[in-house]
Amino acid sequence: MQRVTAKICGLSTPETVDAAVRHGASHLGFVFFPKSPRNVDFEQARSLTMRVPSHVGKVGVFVDAEDDVIDAAVRVGGVDALQLHGKEAPARLAALRQRHPDIALWKAISVRTRADLDAAHAYRPVADVILYDAKTPEGTLPGGMGLRFDWTLLDGFDHPQRWALSGGIDADNVERAAGSTGARLIDVSSGVESAPGIKAVDKIATFLQRIASL
């Protein structure tokens, strides 16, 4: 079976980027969303992505962003994948595919019920990765809240393409998360923080050591 890998999302400091790389993260996430405590600007992102070796993915995270924001994140910020966490329709991903043909597209699907999973099928032609995340309460940030959905909803679901699991995952439950769902790519943000938006080097290390043991 394919080994489990991890994306550490919402990084904003050189120390935490270096820790994520050193301990074996497959992807690093950089948030371009001003309302998030994890937001980075383009120059800040550039200073961080320049530290990342080529074998590690650099994922920009966006919420219903305009083209100029995404263009700058790619051109200046140095990201090589776009994770779309808003209400972007399949047509929006198709347009981004044309605009950035060499960039991988991830689409987050917010999950509370089994029916929510069905949205993934509409993105099959245009997304490289589907990210299943917990649906957050109305009026709150879309992700990074430490909320977990019922993983049993994924039992027997026919995944349309490569997928990742997110939402309320930390070092204490990641083994159960991967084991019960079959996820081979785990996305973590608040689970490796000491406070909202503040990543902890020791928590990153512990989490990725746990991932490596799976």
Burial of 196 (0-12, 13-18, 19+ CB in 10 A): middle
Q: What phi and psi values does residue 190 have, to the nearest 5 degrees?
A: -65, -25
Catalytic residue ranges: 9, 133
- The conformation of residue 39, written as its DSSP 8-state character, comes to B
Nearest CA to 123 out of 63, 154, 150, 163 is that of: 163
Q: For residue 128, what are the CA distances in angstroms to 101, 132, 190?
A: 12, 13, 24
